[in-house]
Amino acid sequence: MPATTVADVVAEPTFWSCQTHEVSGLGGSVYDDVLESRYVYDSLVVNSRRIRIGDVLVLRDPHLVRGYGVVESIDAAPALKAMERCPRPECGSADVRRRQVKRPTYRCPDCHHEFDDPDVTSRDVVRYVAHYDATWSPLGSAVPAGALKQEAVYAKGDFPNAIRELDASAAAAFLRMHADLESALNLELLAHTGVIPGGHTDALAHVRRGQMQFREAMFARFGSVCAVTGSQPADVLDAAHLYSFAVRPEHRYDGGLLLRSDIHRLFDRLLITFDPASWSSRVAPPLLHQYESLVPLDGLPIAVTEAALPDKALVADHYAASRARWRDLASTLR
């Protein structure tokens, strides 16, 4: 089955929110997704046949909106898909859920039967691969996946499927607000042509009001010190919020830290945090197993004086959200 051609491009792009199966931050994926370049799905997925070249895919995982790309091509080929089903003959539901902690491993949401070994059957499907590597744009800051619902970005009447249609105007506004990269004009050009325009253009941008004052306040509070790695040049330090600024657009001086820019990215993506009980850094265990260079960052006492410690409740919230994401990562790798 050939790739989708230019003739299949629609005049007006549709915006889609797609649940990515990539194992975030671990350099690997399940179902062959590669966050920065391709999204893999099949014909059993609701809305699978509606995606076209020129559509905009907004990729999300269970916790964060990761970024967006404009579909440049779609490969389609026949495949077999393994389906896990409830083993009770009178049920046979394919909506069985693997549990992370409780045993038995599976629970059927239809008949409530619990079991370790599901029935496995194969289905003929069409396997699709949507490519967007030349147009991928990560979000400029961490945005919770729930923001798509909170900001009314989903199209009316859409159900919580892996591929969900977005309201086009709301989605464009959402990306302009959070991507911090391209203007509406540039996004429209990408969606219609699949080509990244070169050179420079005037762009509309949403700027966080008070961000400069917040950064200055963090330096006054902490000095030129990363909360994880200690003293650092000011040029590599970011003023980081302990909460999502996208959800709570305010600058709390007891709700911020200075972090080295690379650590800030890990912190925003819930891959490094602080334990509020010990005030020490914690790195996601799956990352520690794969990246030796991150091991020295785990278990460091926070490089902040006791008088300047941030709000403990905000630290606890970030810690809890991070641990929830780590459990998801660990269960995916089993």
Amino acid at 115: F
pLDDT reported for residue 95 = 76
b/e code 272-300 from CB counts within 10 Å (16+ = b): bbbbbeebebbbbebbeeeeeebeebbeb
Contacts of 248 (CB under 8 A, 6+ apart): none
User: Could you tell me the residue ranges of all domains in the chain?
Assistant: 6-74+131-193, 80-126, 211-333
Structure-block tokens of residue 84: 């896990």
Chunked mean pLDDT (size 10), the chain, 334 residues = 42 86 48 83 91 91 87 88 86 78 84 89 88 81 84 82 91 77 47 45 46 86 95 92 67 88 88 95 89 93 94 92 80 52
Q: Shortest CA distance to 125 belongs to which of 82, 164, 159, 78?
A: 78
Is the CB of residue 241 less than 8 Å from the CB of residue 234? no
Instruction: Report in angstroms the alpha-carbon separations of 64 from 7, 8, 123, 319.
Output: 34, 31, 31, 15
Q: Shortest CA distance to 45 belongs to which of 171, 191, 160, 168?
A: 160
Is the CB of residue 69 less than 8 Å from the CB of residue 57? yes
Positive or negative torsion for Cα 216, 217, 218, 224: positive
Is the CB of residue 214 less than 8 Å from the CB of residue 251? yes
Cα–Cα distance between 156 and 133 in angstroms, integer?
A: 29
Angle formed at CA 227 by CA 221 and CA 229, multiple of 5 degrees: 135
Is the CB of residue 251 less than 8 Å from the CB of residue 211? yes
pLDDT reported for residue 229 = 95
Structure-block tokens of residue 115: 């079991």
* Residue appearing with tokens 């309201």: 167
Residue length, the chain?
334
pLDDT reported for residue 83 = 81
